[in-house]
Structure 1
């Protein structure tokens, strides 16, 4: 690995420090008085109850213990443009129901930046962007 690549990977690792050290289920967060998730950076991030309830409207009750929060939106650069991947099947199904996006490549949901903005505007605390080099 070149020094430039190593530096890039360290930078991406630093940028992604906000990601959770351990994700929690939708069901568990709904049962908490003050729902929060601890990031890899050691900070506890508060989760808005209204967002959890919005998600719960689209996720079957028996699936809520398997639906993990946060929803990870993986941003990658392809040919100079950014695309967003949603790799988790449950997350992709929720986004399809709630927002109407249904573009898949090799069974992975793919979004464009302007589509991600709609999701992030509605789900500020229950979704997180992960950067890929």
Structure 2
């Protein structure tokens, strides 16, 4: 019984940590057409993107990729692992280029020093997403 209560509390805390995540992500192409590029978080807050980052990102991608890439790019942090996961073929292409790593397909795992490099270059284009496995 005690485990059930702590499991519920943990899930609630993780939910609260993710309130900033947008209810709908926008494509890079959409954001580049906006005067003030932003997405709205599930909690109603606005997450603004810096133009310089969007343009930098645009320079890394083909037109088709810019139409398909949804922002922000999620850095998935899980409770049971030491690193973070980034999923999606275009997202992995971007992260691989920033970190000067080989493109690893549709997901890549990165660790704290690499997260710092990625976030230093793209602080508004990336966001942390906290995950917890079923307890």
TM-score (norm 1): 0.90
- The unaligned stretches of length 5 or more in structure 2 are none
Distance 1:101 1:112 in 2: 13
1:4-38 deviations in Å (ceiling 9; x for gaps) = 11110100000010111000000010111110110
CA RMSD across the alignment: 1.8
TM value normalised by structure 2: 0.88
Partner of 1:129 in structure 2? 128
d(CA) in 1 for partners of 2:101 and 2:128? Answer: 17
Change (3 A) 1:93 1:111: same
Contact 2:92 2:103 in 1 (8 A): no
Runs (4+) off by over 4 Å: none
1:24 paired residue number: 26
1:82 aligned partner:
82
Residue of structure 2 equivalent to 1:54:
56
CA change 1:103–1:110 in 2 (3 A) is farther
Residue 107 of structure 2 corresponds to residue 108 of structure 1: yes
Matched positions, count:
130
Alignment map for 1:35-74 (pairs within 5 Å): 35-74=37-76
1:95 paired with 2:95, answer yes
**Greater share of strand:** 1
Once the two structures are superposed, residues 25-79 of structure 1 have per-residue CA deviations (whole angstroms, 9 ceiling, x without a partner) of 000101111101100110111110100011111111122110110000001244x
